[in-house]
Structure 1
Amino acid sequence: MKKSLGAATLAQPTPTWAVGSYDTDGKPNAMIAAWGGICSSQPPCLTVSVRPGRHTFAGIMHHKAFTVSVCPQWLVAEADYLGIVSGRKTDKFAATGLTPVRSELVDAPYIDEFPLVIECALIHTYELGAHTMMVGEIKDVKCDHDKLLEDKHPDLTKVLPLIYAPGAGTYHGVGPALAKGFSAGKKFMK
């Protein structure tokens, strides 16, 4: 029997994404967001949700751009740090030793040490309550060459994205592939 947990943000898992932006003074910043995901295939878009009081919010609104650097499992402490301090008071890049890289396509930085990066132009915002959902049109995806599958797709087993478990507040990794998409379910087709 299932137990009701009420209306809560307990979807499992959520990403551990470093949302990169320049602040209103042009200083690179990154914060961790777990509220996000792909929202459109054409045009390719993703969402991140940010509280309006966060330092990152003003930077994204000012520059109309952000990046998503997918946090790898081996940088869990650095990723967690990006989520527990404010860029308003701290230079997170100096503190962690991570390297901000200026995007060539959008007015935002990404994190060089993170193997998978998505560069986005802000195209919509939706105020939803505590958070504002920001829709970014994906202008480019960059991946470390040694983390590619068949030289054209990020390899999940090499990128090793860090995932987050809301409620428990714990970070996790990904496991081996279980089945091929759009294939495993064919056994139920007549």
Structure 2
Amino acid sequence: MKQSIGAKTLATPTPVWLVGTYDEADTPNIMTAAWGGICCSQPPCLAVSLRKATYSHAAIVARKAFTVSIPSQAQVAQADYVGTVSGRDGDKFAACGWTAVRSDLVDAPYVDEVPLVVECRLLHIHELGLHTQFVGEIVDVKADEALIGAKGYPDITKVRPIIWDTAHMGYYGLGEFLGKAWEIGKTITTEGMK
């Protein structure tokens, strides 16, 4: 029997993303965000939701662009740090020993040292309550060459992304491979499992 927990943000797991923006002075900034995901295939889009109080919120609205740098498990301390301090108070790139790279496609920076980067042009803004959802059209994905696997795509086992557990406020790594999509389901028939 299931027990009611109430209306909570417990659709777990969520990603650990570093959202890159430029402020009014053209200073690069990053912040950690977990409220995000792919939201459309054509055009390719992702969405990230930020509170209006964040320094990055106004920057996305003004610049109409943002990046998502996807850190590896080895970068969990830096990912946590940039989510706990404001870009108003200092240079988070410098504090983490990271390099801000100016995107040549959108008006936003990304973290050079992370394995995977998604560059987005702002398409839509949705006011949801405490958060604003920014839908960005993906204009490019950049990956470290050493992470490229089959079919020229990043190998998730080499990216080693961080997963956020909202219920326990903790970070986790990627689990084991469970099965090939559109294949493992073939073990079930109308009569049940084979």
**Is this a same-fold pair by TM over 0.5?**
yes
Q: Structure 1: which 5+ runs fail to align?
A: none
Provide the secondary structure at the position in 2 that maps to 1:83.
coil
Provide the secondary structure at the position in 1 that maps to 2:37.
strand
Alignment length (residue pairs): 190
TM-score scaled by structure 2?
0.96
* Identity rate, percent: 56
1:80-119 matches, within 5 Å, as 80-119=80-119
Moved runs in structure 1, 4+ residues, more than 6 A? none
1:72 deviation in Å? 0.7
Q: Which residue of 2 aligns with 1:126?
A: 126
Q: Is the 1:145–1:151 Cα contact (8 Å) retained in structure 2?
A: no
Q: Structure 2: which 5+ runs fail to align?
A: none
1:151 deviation in Å? 5.5
Q: Which residue of 2 aligns with 1:176?
A: 176
- Give 1 or 2 for the bigger CA radius of gyration: 2
Provide the secondary structure at the position in 2 that maps to 1:30.
strand
Hey, what's the Cα distance between the residues in 2 that align with 1:154 and 1:33?
21
Q: Is the 1:119–1:141 Cα contact (8 Å) retained in structure 2?
A: yes
1:161 and 2:161 are equivalent in the alignment:
yes
TM-score scaled by structure 1?
0.98
Provide the secondary structure at the position in 1 that maps to 2:43.
coil
Q: Which residue of 2 aligns with 1:38?
A: 38
Hey, what's the Cα distance between the residues in 2 that align with 1:24 and 1:6?
41
Hey, what's the Cα distance between the residues in 1 that align with 2:173 and 2:81?
18
1:109 deviation in Å? 0.3
Hey, what's the Cα distance between the residues in 2 that align with 1:182 and 1:163?
24
Root mean square deviation, CA, Å: 0.9
